[in-house]
Chain A
Amino acid sequence: MALELKDIAYIAHLARLQLGAAEQSEALSRITNILSMIDQMQAVDTAGVEPLAHGFDASQRLRDDVVTETNQRDLLLKLAPSVDQGLFLVPKVLE
């Protein structure tokens, strides 16, 4: 599948990246290279091989259902540029 510049623009929009024309061309050639490497990998016969969900050969450790965190609101609100009434503020979101 050959990518075009408009695909790059679409992916950049989804990722909220603002790319200039030169950056878009650069991204196109890099991603095209990655995809051709994937094409090469897909030529390998993987019949009978279980798909890998993670690079580590291990399984998820479980946590007990216990509350371990305490209220750190005052500290954490200090990290934000704008807060009021215990809330983080962002520019108005319109639905």
Chain B
Amino acid sequence: MAWETVIGLEVHVQLATKSKLFSGSATTFGAEPNTQANVFDLALPGTLPVLNGEALRMAVKFGLAIGAHIGKKSVFDRKNYFYPDLPKGYQTSQLDHPIVGKGSLTITLDDGTSRTIGVTRAHLEEDAGKSLHELFPNDTGIDLNRAGTPLLEIVSEPELRSAKEAVAYLKKLHSLILYLGISDGDMSQGSMRCDANVSVRQQGDSKFGTRAEIKNINSFRFVEKAILIEAQRQIDILEDGGRIIQETRLYDPDRNETRSMRSKEVANDYRYFPEPDLLPVVIDDAFIAAVKTTLPELPDLKSQRFQSHYGLSDYDADVLSADRATADFFEVVANACGDAKLSANWVMGDLQSVLHKSELDIAHSPVSAHALAGLISRIKDNTISSKIAKTVFEAMINGEGSADTIIESKGLKQVTDSGAIEKLIDTIIAANPKQLEQYRSGQDKVFTFFVGQVMKESKGKANPAQVNDILLNKLKK
């Protein structure tokens, strides 16, 4: 039997506002407990919410970026439930009239194919506080710093068909929110959290199976693992003749399993109703147009431009455009040195591996875009070979100066004087009669031995193309 997995994702993105969604409390991460929780966030009597305009603009910005319908009149609702880290006894959210309606996101899979995934809606809501269960033996500690922090909940259609597609969707969303600058997207700090609705069905079935909701998955890797293990659990049950119950499950990365949560509680019944403390949010075309002017060039369009303008391959253009800072860095390098392909290779290759090793992002690169362009220019004008360039690059990483300074001070300039190269080759041929014999008796592979010797003797400085030509000539004689 062939099974198909059906996945829908609900992603909570923490918006990068300075203050909370409905109050003027700060939202800085990692502050001392309860130092950013004030009378509004504690829901003291008499306090009233006022909507943060910037959070609204960020939500609209996201909606425009995914080509969604923008709700010109959106309404906040109360979602009622009791939990100690929710002092109001309800979460202010949006149910029937969200700020962002239907849109879509195009994902690219590893095999290069792309699919368009529907986004059902995105709405504004406030976060709850944090419960600390482990700190005290008989009590739970409550930190309300996070209470009231603005979230954008982005809900996808159940159109994802594998764990890999779910990861691709999440990565695309992550790239997009960073481009838009509406969130820092830091998953380790909870700035982007994901719930996955997972069900399985026989391939070809038109009806969905019963789904389980997996809560709070906080890394790309865990999303993939959690979906795989949950789909397998459901398949095992169904193949044994069992039945799936609709429930909320928690993914445990240590044991790589999902397990049931809140199993004893009655089905969630949040008794939503319109929030009487907030008026409907009405925005006009001018508001939307003003937000539109703040949209940057988005990854898909940037990738297309990198292909048409710089002649990059699909793959290179996609990799470089996935991250805005990387894309900007690449463009500065390419424009300064005039060789886009070499620039792409250096940015994605040597530079990326240095950044990865030293855990730096490209904004803190030890080699600036102009400095890298300086190095690539010296490869282009044949001052140094690609191989020597790697040595120069390492010196640049170590802060030894610009490419030109290093080439000069270390005497790394490529030898292009054919007279000098010829002399060197003569000496090497004379010193290796045995290999010469072998070559002339038809063992072509010995050629690389001679190239190696020449490069070694010249300390890598001889121009490789010239070495090849001259050597070929001399050996044939």
Interface residues of A (CB under 8 A from B): 10, 13-14, 16, 53-56, 58-69, 71-73, 76-77, 79, 82, 84-93, 95
Contact = CB atoms under 8 A, between A and B. Distances in A.
Given A54-B276, A67-B25, A93-B131, A88 B144 contact: yes
Contact of B140 (A14, A61, A92): A92
A14 B19 CA distance: 32
Given A88-B84, A90-B139, 6 more contacts: A60-B281, A65-B17, A69-B23, A76-B39, A85-B33, A87-B141
A58 B279 CA distance: 7
B135 A62 contact: no
Contacts of B39: 72, 76
A89 B140 contact: yes
Given A85-B33, A87-B141, A68 B24 contact: yes
Interface stretch (B45-53, B164-172, B320-328, B366-374): B45-53
A27 to B, nearest CB: 15
B278 A60 contact: yes
B271 A14 contact: yes
B205 to A, nearest CB: 35
Contacts of B142: 87-90
B141 A60 contact: no
B188 to A, nearest CB: 22
B138 A63 contact: no
Contact of B34 (A10, A67, A73, A91): A73
B97 interface: yes
Interface of B: 17-19, 23-26, 32-40, 42, 44, 50-56, 73, 75, 80, 82-84, 97, 131-133, 135-136, 138-144, 261-262, 266, 269, 271, 274, 276, 278-282
Per DSSP, chain A at the interface is loop
Most buried by A among B17, B23, B280: B280
B33 A87 contact: yes
A41 B7 CA distance: 42
Contact of A91 (B33, B44, B56, B138): B138
B139 A65 contact: no
Most buried by B among A55, A64, A65: A65
7 contacts: A54-B274, A59-B279, A65-B54, A82-B139, A91-B138, A91-B139, A93-B133
A15 to B, nearest CB: 8
Contacts of B23: 69
Contacts of B83: 93
A63 B281 contact: no
Nearest to B17: A65
Given A56-B279, A77-B34, A87-B33, A62 B53 contact: yes
Contact of A53 (B32, B135, B141, B274): B274
Contacts of B56: 62
Given A14-B271, A16-B82, A64 B34 contact: no
Contacts of A71: 35-36
B139 A63 contact: no
Nearest to B16: A65
Contacts of B144: 88
A19 to B, nearest CB: 16
A62 to B, nearest CB: 3
Nearest to B137: A92
A93 B353 CA distance: 46
Contacts of B132: 87
B282 A59 contact: yes
A67 to B, nearest CB: 5
B96 to A, nearest CB: 9
B34 to A, nearest CB: 5
Nearest to B129: A88
Given A56-B279, A65-B52, A87 B25 contact: no
A89 B136 contact: yes
Contacts of B35: 71, 73, 86
A41 B139 CA distance: 49
Contacts of A66: 18-19, 24
